[in-house]
């Protein structure tokens, strides 16, 4: 998606270090400038701006095992240093791009171990990794494994990708609004493919649409027509924006059935894990939201749309699925009322896990079935940090207060 078409894996000149990754590193140009003076001949491409993956090995050479801390993006990464006998595995802060790994006895006649890493668990399953040895990389954690002399893989280091500051001291949402527009901007700057959003009458898709309008970025805005009375707000939003092409989809029962069948055949059979959610134990393709999203993706893919900006994560990090202290859904963690001391509840269950994990997997797996990449501006760590810095009085003053302030600032239509 970024830069010139690039084959993987990335290697150093001696093939001692090998790296693979999925996703995007948004600050790779800045990193390339910083690293170019110190990379020497250790990278086969002196021009690291050709593609974002070219910064990985030079960054590892400069900062060692904690090079992940210097990356800003949405990614899953594995780096192997055969000289130092270590494996480094990491996702981004919220694990928007999944990563599974495990080891198993690859030769019945010896004590040798095979190590496997893949985007999906089925990648491990078909290679023979037993269920007990399959691990999903956790959000906001970098794991460093040693390759021992007996071919075992042992964890020797574990650290955070990003350390959140839990002080609540900001009395306005201005910095959050600025950070949000910047988060949208870095996700659409320099793209070569068409981008799109799913449009509703509510807060999250509205905030993304407004940011794109302010950035003067062309987009497709897709809406699945329903019986809801939100169509007037949606039309007002379309009229407000000069750069959005509106596409309304009407779905027949037959189309719905065919799309469900398509997903059942093509997408990863991930089971929702959140026990408090009404979808607990369902596979992704059984979720009506997945089928609706897939119907949109089928349409936009024909028009060259490859980048989807999702509002996923806003409910988990901002509202906690609650309004005025009342839980809207039973999987709300604390009723949306933030305490004076944020450390009393942080990180709440769905900040990293729970519905955060389930709904990100829904977006990734459904998008993956269509060859479409999803990006998540609400889960940019600097956006989330700005929200955490707001006083609890500001957080509790209004439903999704910073988003509401942002929409009001431009008189953007909202239900």
Give 148's pLDDT tier (boundaries 50, 70, 90): confident
β-strands 305-309, 10-11 pairing: unpaired
Mean pLDDT of 307-314: 97
> What DSSP designation does 270 have?
P
Longest dimension (CA), the chain: 70
Residue ranges with strand state E in 1-67:
10-11, 17-25
Give 65's pLDDT tier (boundaries 50, 70, 90): very high
Q: Look at residue 62 in the predicted model and tell me its pLDDT.
A: 96
Mean pLDDT of 305-311: 96
Give 166's pLDDT tier (boundaries 50, 70, 90): very high
Query: Do 75 and 23 form a contact (C-beta atoms < 8 A)?
Result: yes
Instruction: State the Cα–Cα distance between residues 29 and 311, nearest whole angstrom.
Output: 26
Give 227's pLDDT tier (boundaries 50, 70, 90): low
Q: Report how far apart, in Å, the C-alpha atoms of 276 and of each of 280, 329, 330, 331, 336 are.
A: 7, 9, 6, 5, 16
Phi, psi of 134 (to 5 degrees): -95, 125
State yes or no: pLDDT of 2 exceeds 80: no
Instruction: State the Cα–Cα distance between residues 180 and 403, nearest whole angstrom.
Output: 9
Question: What is the tens place of the pLDDT at every residue in 35-60?
Answer: 987 655 445 556 788 889 999 999 99
Domains along the sequence of the chain with CATH = 10-99+137-159 (3.60.20.10), 174-409 (3.40.50.620)
Question: What is the tens place of the pLDDT at every residue in 235-261?
Answer: 999 999 999 999 988 889 999 999 999
Q: Look at residue 396 in the predicted model and tell me its pLDDT.
A: 97
Query: Do 350 and 333 form a contact (C-beta atoms < 8 A)?
Result: yes
Q: What is the DSSP string of 335-351?
A: TT---SSGGGTPSPHHH
Strand order in the sheet with 373-375: 244-249, 219-224, 194-198, 305-309, 373-375
Q: Which single residue is written with the structure tokens 């933030």? A: 338
Kindly report the average pLDDT of the chain as a whole number: 92
Q: Look at residue 41 in the predicted model and tell me its pLDDT.
A: 41
Query: Do 272 and 281 form a contact (C-beta atoms < 8 A)?
Result: yes
Query: Do 322 and 332 form a contact (C-beta atoms < 8 A)?
Result: yes
Mean pLDDT of 271-290: 93
Residue ranges with strand state E in 122-213:
135-136, 142-147, 153-159, 194-198
Q: Look at residue 149 in the predicted model and tell me its pLDDT.
A: 67
Mean pLDDT of 283-290: 93
Percent of the chain with pLDDT over 70: 95
Mean pLDDT of 400-411: 97
Give 269's pLDDT tier (boundaries 50, 70, 90): very high
Q: Look at residue 4 in the predicted model and tell me its pLDDT.
A: 83
Query: Do 26 and 92 form a contact (C-beta atoms < 8 A)?
Result: no
């Amino acid at each position: 998606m970024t830069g010139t078409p690039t084959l993987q894996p990335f290697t150093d000149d001696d093939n001692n270090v090998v790296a693979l990754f999925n996703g995007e590193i948004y600050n790779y140009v800045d990193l390339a400038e910083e690293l170019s003076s110190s990379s020497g001949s250790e990278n086969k491409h002196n021009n690291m701006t050709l593609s974002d993956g070219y910064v990985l090995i030079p960054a590892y050479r400069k900062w060692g095992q904690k090079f992940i801390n210097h990356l800003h993006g949405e990614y899953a990464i594995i780096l192997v240093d055969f000289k130092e006998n270590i494996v480094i595995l990491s996702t981004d802060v919220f694990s928007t791009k999944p990563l599974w790994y495990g080891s198993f006895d690859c030769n019945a006649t010896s004590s040798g171990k095979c190590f496997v890493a893949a985007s999906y668990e089925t990648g491990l399953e078909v290679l023979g990794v037993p269920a007990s040895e399959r691990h999903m990389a956790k959000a906001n954690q970098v794991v460093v494994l040693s390759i021992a002399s007996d071919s075992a893989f042992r964890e020797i280091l574990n650290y955070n990708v990003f350390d959140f500051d839990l002080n609540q001291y900001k009395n306005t949402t201005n910095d959050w609004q600025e950070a949000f527009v910047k988060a949208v901007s870095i996700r659409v700057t320099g793209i070569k493919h068409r981008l799109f959003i799913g449009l509703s009458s509510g807060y999250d898709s509205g905030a993304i649409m407004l940011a794109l309008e302010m950035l003067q970025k062309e987009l497709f805005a897709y809406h699945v027509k329903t019986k809801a009375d939100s169509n007037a707000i949606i039309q007002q939003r379309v009229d407000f924006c000069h750069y959005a092409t509106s596409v309304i989809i009407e779905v027949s029962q037959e189309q719905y059935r065919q799309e469900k069948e398509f997903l059942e055949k093509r997408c990863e059979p991930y089971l929702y894990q959140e026990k408090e959610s009404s979808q607990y134990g369902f596979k992704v393709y059984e979720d009506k939201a997945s089928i609706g999203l897939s119907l949109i993706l089928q349409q936009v893919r024909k028009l060259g749309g490859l980048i989807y900006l999702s509002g996923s994560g806003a409910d988990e990090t901002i509202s906690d699925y609650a309004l005025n202290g009342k839980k809207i859904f039973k999987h709300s963690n604390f009723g949306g009322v933030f305490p004076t001391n944020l450390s009393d509840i942080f990180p709440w269950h769905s900040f990293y896990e729970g519905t955060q994990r389930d709904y990100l997997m829904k977006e990734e797996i459904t998008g993956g079935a269509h060859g479409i990449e999803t990006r998540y501006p609400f889960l940019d760590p600097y956006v989330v940090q700005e929200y955490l810095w707001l006083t609890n009085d500001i957080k509790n003053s209004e439903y999704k207060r910073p988003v509401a302030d942002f929409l009001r600032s431009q008189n953007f239509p909202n239900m």
